[in-house]
């Protein structure tokens, strides 16, 4: 068992901390921003909803990431949630370039998002907040799209897929009604 804490030299153990954070399973997104007539992007899993009214999302981008500079200057941010067939795109935007991977983007409200993503969100940066070596960007949602499919997942440094059981495979004695769920 690994424990998070101070290392032998009195330093915080960032390697253990990174491993701990890797145990939070997430979806995989591609963040994108327009740069002149081109698009720049990066793979990220630090994404969350911020507000329903008004519709806001939050992403965390390292200040030393190339995309950080582009988002600051364009004030535009695309978020593409990947489906199970798009692992090669995730690897591509994580810097593992490979032959044959040709990202296709479409634009909504001037914001690039990946064509054929499971879901996409075109945003304008509303506010930004320094957060250690990252910046939290709060973005106003301008446009959304949703397609059928299952999400690409990431857990402990590996990609995975969601296994969805059909309703017929559920035990007959289980009541899935909301009234029965005390945690709601």
State pLDDT tens for residues 70-124. Answer: 999 999 999 999 999 999 999 999 999 888 889 999 999 999 999 999 999 999 9
> Domains of the chain by range and CATH?
25-156 (2.30.110.10)
Question: Beta 111-114 vs 26-27: how paired, if at all?
Answer: unpaired
pTM of the predicted model over 0.85: no
Write out 115-144 in H/E/C secondary structure: CCCCEEEEEEEEEEEEECCEEEEEEEEEEE
Looking at the predicted structure, is the pLDDT value of residue 179 above 50?
Answer: no
């Amino acid at each position: 068992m690994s424990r998070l804490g101070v290392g032998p030299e009195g330093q915080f153990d960032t390697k253990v901390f990174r491993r701990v954070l890797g145990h939070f399973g997430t979806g995989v997104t591609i963040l994108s921003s327009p740069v002149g007539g081109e698009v720049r992007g990066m793979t990220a899993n630090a994404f969350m909803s911020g507000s329903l009214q008004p519709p806001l999302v939050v992403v965390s981008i390292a200040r030393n990431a190339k995309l950080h500079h582009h988002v600051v200057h364009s004030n535009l941010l695309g978020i593409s949630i990947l489906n199970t067939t798009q692992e090669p795109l995730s690897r591509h935007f994580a810097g593992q370039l490979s032959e044959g991977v040709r990202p296709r983007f479409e634009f909504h409200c001037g914001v690039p998002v990946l064509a054929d993503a499971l879901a996409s969100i075109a945003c304008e940066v509303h506010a930004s907040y320094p957060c250690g070596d990252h910046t939290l960007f709060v973005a106003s949602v301008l446009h959304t799209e949703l397609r059928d499919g299952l999400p690409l997942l990431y857990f402990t440094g590996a990609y995975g897929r969601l296994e969805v059981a059909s309703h017929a495979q559920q035990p007959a004695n289980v009541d899935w009604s909301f009234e029965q769920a005390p945690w709601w």
